[in-house]
């Protein structure tokens, strides 16, 4: 993948023939998507093709490849495709250093789960001189420390609660299913945001500036706001390389063009996450939410704000809570092991809702209380490094509490996005 895109980038930039430039761009995209499709999607499509053939009365046993998924393939594939596309669009010039380009693709803090840095940002830093400072090392160490707390204390303890329900067969208790979904919502957030913070911290310690990938996503009030806060590098990639070209091509369709572009983008987003119908339905769900929001957005702008500051805060809190539950419905579909399980859990939440067990509620609260306090402060101050800037005595006390929680009650599970 690295070798193909390195030479394709040079040939695209060095040619004045538009047809030749397009041929090398298509070669780059086809090679990368073929590698990704073979390793990640062959079994999914082969299995569904076999079911389709058998449905019409023909005999076609399903064939599966028992192979390992290459490390970080979903993430570095998007990174390399963006490189050749940006060279083709003349947004960047290709590097002539094979070593620099290889490091850009395989940069170890980002290889497992991003952020999906682009050549205009990361490759430029690799090619230029970097300065390692004590201030940068301290800030990087804080990001690693906070990311480790998000992952090994919050996410991995919540995983014990979510897995217990999602790994069980139906029927389900509605309260247990709802609590498991809430636990998973914070598990996947802290797991992925924790990894991103560790990656940013490692980069900062070495003099690299790694982009912010999460910005308090559960304070979002609408679908558009959520995707500007959640997995920001993927959202920007989908916007620039899938949504915008489709929307521009269908601009004559007006509202329908936007709807088609959104649905196509998030169906691709769902399939990118994994080869399963639950991911495809999850993508369609978000495409539908974003389409509906685009339709009602002009009406929402005409609505007058509450007259007092107190009422505005109440309205904001209610909106955040409502949209958080819409997000959790998506996470239920995303985490479910099958479409059937998602249906049974949604049915239980709607029609079999009883009071949850006190012990489960206590476990969720024990994992979340400190995260909620600190993220509330980050949101109020509009500063993700708010603890890092406290007085050294107060900061030391916060570090001690976080360290003791991780030491005594931390767990250890694989990174969720490592499997994508």
Count of CB atoms within 10 A of residue 25's CB? Answer: 20
Distances from the Cα of 135 to the Cαs of 132, 141, 147, 205, in angstroms? 9, 10, 18, 9
CA 24 vs. chain centroid, Å, equals 30
Tokens, residue 313: 């805060």
The C-alpha atoms of residue 293 and residue 222 are separated, in whole angstroms, by 8
Which stretches of 120-171 are DSSP H helices?
Answer: 124-127, 134-148, 156-166
Q: Is 231 designated active site?
A: no
CA 405 vs. chain centroid, Å, equals 26
Contact 367/154 with Cβ under 8 angstroms?
yes
- Of residues 137, 79, 71, 68, the one with CA closest to residue 105: 79
DSSP 265-311: HHHHHHHHH-SSHHHHHHHHHHHHHHHHHHHHHHHHHHSPPPSSHHH
The C-alpha atoms of residue 253 and residue 247 are separated, in whole angstroms, by 9
Looking at 273, 344, 354, 391, which residue is catalytic? 273
CA 65 vs. chain centroid, Å, equals 27
The C-alpha atoms of residue 186 and residue 157 are separated, in whole angstroms, by 10
Measured CA angle at 269 (ends 263, 272), to 5 deg: 140
Contact 147/198 with Cβ under 8 angstroms?
yes
Contact 146/190 with Cβ under 8 angstroms?
no
Phi then psi for 258, rounded to 5 degrees?
Answer: -65, -40
Q: Which residues are known to be catalytic? A: 273
């Amino acid at each position: 993948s690295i070798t193909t895109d390195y030479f394709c980038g040079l040939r695209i930039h060095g040619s004045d023939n538009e047809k030749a430039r397009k041929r090398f761009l298509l070669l780059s995209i086809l090679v990368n998507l073929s590698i990704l499709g073979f390793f990640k999607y062959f079994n999914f499509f082969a299995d569904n093709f076999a079911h389709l053939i058998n449905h019409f009365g023909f005999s076609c046993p399903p064939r599966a490849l028992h192979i390992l998924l290459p490390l970080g393939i979903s993430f570095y594939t998007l990174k390399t495709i963006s490189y050749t596309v940006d060279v083709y669009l003349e947004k960047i010039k290709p590097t002539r250093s094979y070593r620099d380009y290889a490091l850009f693709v395989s940069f170890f803090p980002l290889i497992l789960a991003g952020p999906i840095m682009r050549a205009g940002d990361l490759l430029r830093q690799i090619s230029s001189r970097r300065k390692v400072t004590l201030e940068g090392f301290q800030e990087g160490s804080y990001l690693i420390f906070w990311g480790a707390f998000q992952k090994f204390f919050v996410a991995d303890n919540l995983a014990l609660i979510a897995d217990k329900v999602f790994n069980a067969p139906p029927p389900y208790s509605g309260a247990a299913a709802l609590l498991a979904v809430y636990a998973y919502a914070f598990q996947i957030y802290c797991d992925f945001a924790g990894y991103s913070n560790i990656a940013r911290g490692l980069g900062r310690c070495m003099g690299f500036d790694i982009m912010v990938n999460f910005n308090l996503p559960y304070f979002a009030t609408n679908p558009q706001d959520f995707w500007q806060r959640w997995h920001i590098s993927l959202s920007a990639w989908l916007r620039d390389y899938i949504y915008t070209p489709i929307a521009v091509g269908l601009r004559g369709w007006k509202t329908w063009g936007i709807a088609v572009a959104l649905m196509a983008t998030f169906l691709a987003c769902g399939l990118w996450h994994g080869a399963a119908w639950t991911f495809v339905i999850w993508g369609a769900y978000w495409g539908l939410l974003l389409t509906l929001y685009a339709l009602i957005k002009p009406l929402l702008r005409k609505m007058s704000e509450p007259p007092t500051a107190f009422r505005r805060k109440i309205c904001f809190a209610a909106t955040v809570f409502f949209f958080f539950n819409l997000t959790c419905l998506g996470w239920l579909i995303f985490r479910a092991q099958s479409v059937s399980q998602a249906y049974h859990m949604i049915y239980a939440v709607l029609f079999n809702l009883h009071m949850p067990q006190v012990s489960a509620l206590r476990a969720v609260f024990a994992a979340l209380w400190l995260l909620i306090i600190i993220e509330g402060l980050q949101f109020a101050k509009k500063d993700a490094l708010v603890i890092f800037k406290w007085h050294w005595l107060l900061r030391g006390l916060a570090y001690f509490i976080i360290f003791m929680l991780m030491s005594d009650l931390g767990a250890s599970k694989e990174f969720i996005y490592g499997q994508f």
